[in-house]
Amino acid sequence: MTAMTASSVSAGSGRPCAVIDDDHLGRMTLGDRRLEREVLEIFVRQTVIMLERIAGAEPALAAAAAHTLTGSARGIGAWRVARAAEQLERVANGKSGAAALDEAVEELKSATVEASAAIAARLGDVLRGH
């Protein structure tokens, strides 16, 4: 499998961070490329829906949508998205204020854009390979 990597590096390792953990995704989809494609497509659609729900939402709704994204991101090995969604959920459920919430939302948006781009590149590779 081709690794989906970002231009960032792991803290202290000097190695690129995988945007999507290929090994984890392969285990979760039992190596079935059609299932992998379907799961990745669903994830991309879901991130769009959840980010729309989060935008300008009350903190409780933002936390619930972020919680949904945490589970979905963990399912495909999108660890940065999972961490960002967890952080948003913590901030939305806490007393951090609007600025912290806005910052958490922006990090989640950035992480999902990165993951969606990696997924689009991967799905393009899958199409070219068949």
The neighbour count for residue 107, using CB atoms within 10 Å, is 18
What is the distance between the alpha carbons of residues 78 and 33, in angstroms, rounded to a whole number?
A: 17
* Fold designation for 19-129: Four Helix Bundle (Hemerythrin (Met), subunit A) (1.20.120)
Per-domain boundaries in the chain: 19-129
pLDDT tens across 54-74, in order? 998 999 999 999 999 999 999
Mean pLDDT score, 104-129: 87
Q: Around Cβ 12, how many Cβ atoms within 10 Å?
A: 6
Global confidence as pTM: 0.84
pLDDT at 126: 52
How far apart are alpha carbons 104 and 86 in whole angstroms? Answer: 9
Taking only the tens place, the pLDDT of each residue in 26-51 is 999 999 999 999 999 999 999 999 99
